[in-house]
Amino acid sequence: MSAFVGKYAEELIKNAKYIATPGKGILAADESTGTIGKRLSSINVENIESNRQALRELLFTSPNALSCLSGVILFEETLYQKTSDGKPFVEILEENNVIPGIKVDKGTVEIAGTNGETTTQGFDSLGARCQQYYKAGARFAKWRAVLKIGPNEPSELAIQQNAQGLARYAIICQENGLVPIVEPEVLTDGPHDIKKCAAVTETVLAAVYKALNDHHVLLEGTLLKPNMVTPGSDSPKVAQEVIAQYTVTALRRTVPPAVPGIVFLSGGQSEEEATQNLDAMNKLEVLKPWTLSFSFGRALQQSTLKTWAGKKANVGKAQEAFLSRCKANSEATLGKYSGGSAGGLASESLFVKGYKY
Amino acid sequence: MSCFISKYADELAKNAAYIGTPGKGILAADESTGTIGKRLSSINVENIEENRRALRELLFTAPGALQYLSGVILFEETLYQKTASGKPFVDVLKEGGVLPGIKVDKGTVELNGTNGETFTQGLDGLAQRCQKYYEAGARFAKWRAVLKISANEPTELAVQENANGLAMYAAICQQCGLVPIVEPEILVDGSHDIQKCAAVTERVLAACYKALNDHHVMLEGTLLKPNMVTPGSDSPKVAPDVIAEYTVRALQRTVPAAVPAIVFLSGGQSEEEATLNLNAMNKLQTKKPWSLSFSFGRALQQSTLKTWAGKEENVKKAQDALLVRCKANSEATLGTYKGDAELCEGAAESLHVKDYKY
């Protein structure tokens, strides 16, 4: 095998496959302290640890929601937090068959000499950190690489740097028992059409899978978290069937069948848009050798956040809103979403230009 | 799309998918004049055009055989030849529902500074040649790249050069309406084990698909012709199930689902071995988004050749022998081969020739 088969190989394969279970998906609740601050301030809630803890408790104890999830990505602080009665979050997730995951990158920095393109940091002591996270109960990890579309972007340098970074992160995770989610996000910002997004996405994914092969990553023990293929944010929208067609075609051309599951990022789409696009992909009558599911942050939490507004009295209603989005997306992974679980909040675009986590 | 959509895009996708029809496969009858000479001399037949024509007529008019074939790869000379009664071979094939294909490479040359590694020539004027072949009725093409396994081989240079050559050839074919069969053959020669073959195959295929993406090749309009993953020729043999497992896994790790079919080369395996291995792959219960079929030369023709021995009176028996192998391989693409094909003399004979040169 050109793949590294270490002591965790079987476990990695088993966990990756479980996360890719049809009918389930991932809640991305790994907002860094700075980013969650922006969310909290949008609902006039102070960015202190107890509020961050309260929000995540609201999500993880939502009745029946966890059955729609196979994994939750956590920020480091959250991995060690507990409910108000002292139960570790990790235990709640495990008891409900939800695998805890951990964001391990340390954000992006600009690549000198480019037009604002970036590379992702986080390699220092990554192996040791992964070991610690494994001990704390994490079984998968996430690392976000970012590329943008512009007249001369993404450049070959940015593509190579980010592909290499993802591959190196992935093999280090596998050496330490964590299933790496490989996330090469091509931002939606821009006036380009869907064809341009498709071309860039295919080029980026081809580079990523070449790098993963070069670095001996065991594909059966990984997941992919790509952007959907859509027109740029400054371009006219298209129907979900069109997005589904371009997205699945791009994936069929680049993602080897050995990868068990693809969990899309929502990247600024509204809750309802993201669900409908995912549903359309799963309805598409074409051969798809990996499951197509979700790893949504904003697109799962937006309504919930607004309904909560930081008030204890609203927790129940907020949890209902959360359950509603979880169920909708669970159905979408099966191509069975019948639409209509959108309140006004669910249709609100979550696009933020030049979004920084 | 990062791929170039030529005016032939729909036709390419349609033809590639047709070649991958379950129950069908490819007869590789594209031996160059030099190579077919070796075959003919092994049965004491003179290497003259008439004999080359007679052999191919025997193959293409074998009753009942064409239904098991979706394509036949031809050498340039054969593309313009006819039956004894004057019917162009290309017409015989088309009427039998078989797409004519054409070998377009011009053999290998050594890479300077390597230990006998090679790259493949044939790019000069390739577009013009492809256009001519299309006009003559060809609808797919073949280009063989060769790599070997050894202490330090394949080198990164050899892998890159051959992947790049395959990708350039493929892009040109698509612009001219020919479905490119991408053939990165890793020779079986050597004492390495099956794990080594798997590692090299995965590395080579990953490089090929990166190159194809770089060159904007439309994968839906291509086919892959790889080696099966096996132990080296100087290593102990393993069971078909083991070969199937390693081979399919290597493909799952490298070949995108957009590729409609994978048509294996037989590379020196005996007729029966090749069929049993293909059958085992199709029985395997695992993700296979491409169909798995055959593109066999020696492994389809060996018994036929020996039975014919160049004699007119043996033609019918020779054609029966071909039919037996075609049917067996057709069943193998469906995973239904029971290993009960009437074995003609030579069907179990290894066809391995060390450091085989076409």
Residue A355 has pLDDT above 70, yes or no: no
Q: Which ipTM score applies to this complex?
A: 0.90
Give the active site residues of A.
183, 225
B117 is annotated as an active-site residue:
no
Q: Specify the pLDDT at position B353.
A: 73
In terms of residue numbers, what domain contains A96? 8-347
User: Quick check: is A354 in a domain?
Assistant: no
- Residue range B222-238: average pLDDT? 97
Give the angle subtended at the CA of A255 by the CAs of A336 and A94, to the nearest 5°: 60
Å from A86 to nearest chain B CA?
Answer: 44
- Going by pLDDT thresholds of 50, 70 and 90, the confidence category of residue A27 is very high
Å from B208 to nearest chain A CA?
Answer: 10
Is B94 at the interface with chain A, CB within 8 A? no
CB pairs under 8 A between A and B: 86
Helix (H) or strand (E) holding B126: helix B126-135
- Going by pLDDT thresholds of 50, 70 and 90, the confidence category of residue A303 is very high
Strand ranges inside chain B, DSSP E:
25-29, 69-74, 99-103, 108-110, 118-120, 140-147, 179-186, 223-224, 261-264, 291-296
| Cβ neighbours of B195 in A, within 8 Å | 1
- Residue range A267-296: average pLDDT? 97
Tally helices (H) and strands (E) across chain A: 12, 10
**pTM, two decimal places:** 0.93
| Cβ neighbours of A255 in B, within 8 Å | 256-257
User: Quick check: is A352 in a domain?
Assistant: no
Q: Specify the pLDDT at position A209.
A: 98
Please give the C-alpha separations between residue B132 and each of B31, B118, B128, B136, in angstroms, as whole numbers. Answer: 20, 28, 6, 6
Instruction: Output the CA torsion sign for A174, A177, A181, A184.
Output: negative
| Cβ neighbours of B258 in A, within 8 Å | 249, 252-253
- Lowest mean per-residue pLDDT among A100-104, A272-276, A351-355, B210-214: A351-355
Residue A357 has pLDDT above 50, yes or no: no
Instruction: Please report the domains of chain B, with CATH numbers, ordered by start residue.
Output: 8-334 (3.20.20.70)
CATH of the domain at A319: 3.20.20.70
Q: Specify the pLDDT at position B340.
A: 78
| Cβ neighbours of B247 in A, within 8 Å | none
> What is the helix, strand, coil percentage profile of chain B, to 5?
45, 15, 40
User: Quick check: is A3 in a domain?
Assistant: no
User: Quick check: is A357 in a domain?
Assistant: no
Question: Residue A255: how many CA atoms within 13 Å on its side-chain side?
Answer: 27
- Residue range B3-21: average pLDDT? 94
Q: CB A310: neighbour CB atoms within 10 A? A: 15
Please enumerate in sequence order all residues whose Cβ is within 8 A of that of A58, keeping only pairs 6 or more positions apart, or say none.
A304, A308, A315, A318, A319, A322
Residue to substitute from A5, A202, A213, A253, interface B, most B β-carbons within 10 A = A253
DSSP state of B111: P
- Going by pLDDT thresholds of 50, 70 and 90, the confidence category of residue A272 is very high
- Residue range B264-283: average pLDDT? 96
Question: Is the separation of the CB atoms in A58 and A84 below 8 Å?
Answer: no
Proportion of chain A above pLDDT 90, given as a percent: 93
Instruction: Check CB contact under 8 Å for A252 and B198.
Output: no
| Of residues B195, B252, B288, nearest to A256 (C-beta) | B252
Instruction: Match 């959250």 to its residue by tokens.
Output: A78
* pLDDT greater at residue A85 or residue B340: A85
| Token couple for A230 | 């859509």
Closest CA to A219 of B224, B206, B278: B206
Number of domains into which chain A is organized: 1
- Going by pLDDT thresholds of 50, 70 and 90, the confidence category of residue B300 is very high
User: Quick check: is A1 in a domain?
Assistant: no
Mean pLDDT of all residues belonging to chain A: 95
Give the angle subtended at the CA of B224 by the CAs of B108 and A202, to the nearest 5°: 110
Q: What is the pLDDT of residues B24-69, one digit of tens each?
A: 999 999 999 999 999 999 999 999 999 999 999 999 999 999 999 9
Closest CA to B26 of B79, B69, B78: B69
Proportion of chain B above pLDDT 70, given as a percent: 97
- Residue range B83-103: average pLDDT? 98
Instruction: Check CB contact under 8 Å for A195 and B3.
Output: no
- Residue range A51-80: average pLDDT? 97
| Nearest chain B residue to A211, by CA | B206
Mean pLDDT of all residues belonging to chain B: 95
Instruction: Check CB contact under 8 Å for B257 and A195.
Output: no
Å from B205 to nearest chain A CA?
Answer: 10
Instruction: Check CB contact under 8 Å for B253 and A202.
Output: no
| Of residues A200, A252, A258, nearest to B252 (C-beta) | A258
Q: Specify the pLDDT at position A148.
A: 98
Residue A155 has pLDDT above 60, yes or no: yes
* pLDDT greater at residue A312 or residue A344: A312
List, in sequence order, the alpha helices (H) in B28-80.
33-42, 49-60, 76-79
Q: What is the pLDDT of residues A77-127, one digit of tens each?
A: 999 999 999 999 999 999 999 999 999 999 999 999 999 999 999 999 999
DSSP string, A295-343: EESHHHHHHHHHHHTT-GGGHHHHHHHHHHHHHHHHHHHTT---S----
Instruction: Check CB contact under 8 Å for A256 and B255.
Output: yes
Catalytic residue among B24, B103, B142, B225: B225
Q: Specify the pLDDT at position A186.
A: 98
| Nearest chain A residue to B3, by CA | A199
| Cβ neighbours of B196 in A, within 8 Å | none
- Going by pLDDT thresholds of 50, 70 and 90, the confidence category of residue A341 is low
Adjacent-strand bridge partners of A28: A73
Pairing of strands A223-224, A179-186: parallel
User: Quick check: is A309 in a domain?
Assistant: yes
Q: Specify the pLDDT at position B329.
A: 98
Q: Is B151 exposed, middle or buried (0-12, 13-18, 19+ CB in 10 A)?
A: exposed
- Residue range A5-9: average pLDDT? 94
- Going by pLDDT thresholds of 50, 70 and 90, the confidence category of residue A344 is low
- Going by pLDDT thresholds of 50, 70 and 90, the confidence category of residue B344 is low
B225 is annotated as an active-site residue:
yes
Residue A66 has pLDDT above 80, yes or no: yes
Instruction: Check CB contact under 8 Å for B206 and A199.
Output: no
User: Quick check: is A235 in a domain?
Assistant: yes
Q: Specify the pLDDT at position B341.
A: 75
